[in-house]
Amino acid sequence: MFSPMALRPRCAKWLIVTGLFLMLGACVEKPSTLERVKEDGVLRVITRNSPATYFQDRNGETGFEYELVKRFADDLGVELKIETADNLDDLFDQLGQPKGPVLAAAGLVGSEQRKQQVRFSHPYLQVTPQIIYRNGQSRPTTAQDLVGKHIMVLKGSSHAEQLAELKLKNPSLEYEESDAVEVVDLLRMVDEGQIDLTLVDSNELAMNQVYFPNVRVAFDLGDARSQSWAVAAGDDNSLLNEINAFLDKVEKNGTLQRLKDRYYGHVDVLGYVGAYTFAQHLQQRLPKYEKHFKASAKQEKLDWRLLAAVGYQESMWQAEVTSKTGVRGLMMLTQNTAQAMGVSNRLDPKQSISGGAKYLAYIKDQLDDKIEEPDRTWFALAAYNVGTGHLDDARKLAEREKLNPNKWLDVKKMLPRLSQKQWYSKTRYGYARGGEPVHFVANIRRYYDILTWVTQPQLEGDQVAEGNLHVPGVNKAKPPEENPPL
């Protein structure tokens, strides 16, 4: 038998070793959020499914927030995984949950109430909250005019907080919060007269107004506010510091401005008349030519919706038009261009679309290799309108001004100078109506945006972003007269 006295030293040693082990274990720090992201190789982000934040089209994932946060993930050298929240309350609840999203990128505006739940990054976009009403109805001009109206906003939104504060001053004010809608739904409901008013941010109205020709801005409810990303509350600043450094960097190097231009720089080119007209032609004219656009685009490796947008800008999808300058047909080809592209009859819509597609693809292929997408597409469209020579002149002017000759955002500033003698006299190809290609590209981009939205598929299968996409329906009803009674 073992002596109890002999066991005591062994037990003492075991207790000492165990104690040291526990002490050492307690001293080991947990990895920070940023370290976990890099170790996992995945950045989990939660957002909203809307045209201003994140959605999927036939080419994959897109949206302003998606583009920005994808660059952040690439900066970290990790994979991006997107989740979409059913509503804003759900978004904030999921943020920071174990194995859940560590970042919310969803067009969020900081408020005192929200700052108790999460921490916000440096701002990246300025937006203005706007009261929206239906054209033809009495236009509210003050907060008092909101009393007695059927108002709906997103549940858990900063707009709901604004109305709650307003209600303290105007107890008769009533409004409804809904977690079953997105901004596009609210605008549609105003457009169709289902509700009287809503409150949305200026950037989301700008992106969506073209789909709803009856909606109008009544007035701004307060000053411009900043949109930011959000991380979970707590003392771990590792990820937040990295986010702030990234946002500061993309603002300084111009990346943020290029994204703003891509998504918001062309959204106001159509008024309500243009929106209504396009909605009509979308239903009545496009179906006759859609198969030709798709076939020619496939042949030339173009997006058919971009080709269709060019066709609409050129002729409003009319096959037998002729301009005063002699360009003809659906794609408005010159005689020389038609011959070069093998078009024998410019008034034949199939031939015209085929010729236009070949010409656009040819121009795109001839551009400087340093011009990358999406700028390459915008440059090709500008050259389609004004010619490659004048485009080269504008690029050289940009270079002289220490701007980037390979970025559309910079070159489009120079194109209008080609109509001013002090500038065009210094170029190789001389005078051009340089403002035209700028409007030409802006219009096509807007038509393309609309076509992308109305033709996008629903998400299928076990994708991370589940649920139905909010595809805005184009209202076919003619908008009532402008200038409603005040």
**Count of CB atoms situated within 10 Å of the CB of 362:** 16
CA distances to 263, 324, 325, 347, 444 from 321, rounded to whole Å, are 32, 10, 12, 8, 19
Q: Are 228 and 340 in contact (CB under 8 A)?
A: no
Which strand (E) or helix (H) includes residue 250? helix 238-252
Q: Which of 345, 359, 264 is nearest to 302 (CA)?
A: 359
Query: Token pair 């010729």 is at which residue?
Result: 355
Q: Are 218 and 129 in contact (CB under 8 A)?
A: no
**Count of CB atoms situated within 10 Å of the CB of 111:** 16
Residue 424 φ/ψ, nearest 5 degrees: -70, -20
Q: Which of 35, 314, 460, 466 is catalytic?
A: 314
Q: Which of 226, 203, 225 is nearest to 123 (CA)?
A: 226
Q: How far is CA 46 from the centre of its chain?
A: 16
Annotation says 67 is catalytic: no
Cα angle value 96/97/98 (rounded, 5°): 115
Q: Which of 321, 326, 323, 324 is nearest to 349 (CA)?
A: 321
Radius of gyration, alpha carbons of the chain: 28
Judge if the upstream peptide bond of residue 51 is cis by omega within 30 degrees of 0: no
Tokens of 377: 């597409």
Tokens of 455: 């033709």
Catalytic residue ranges = 314
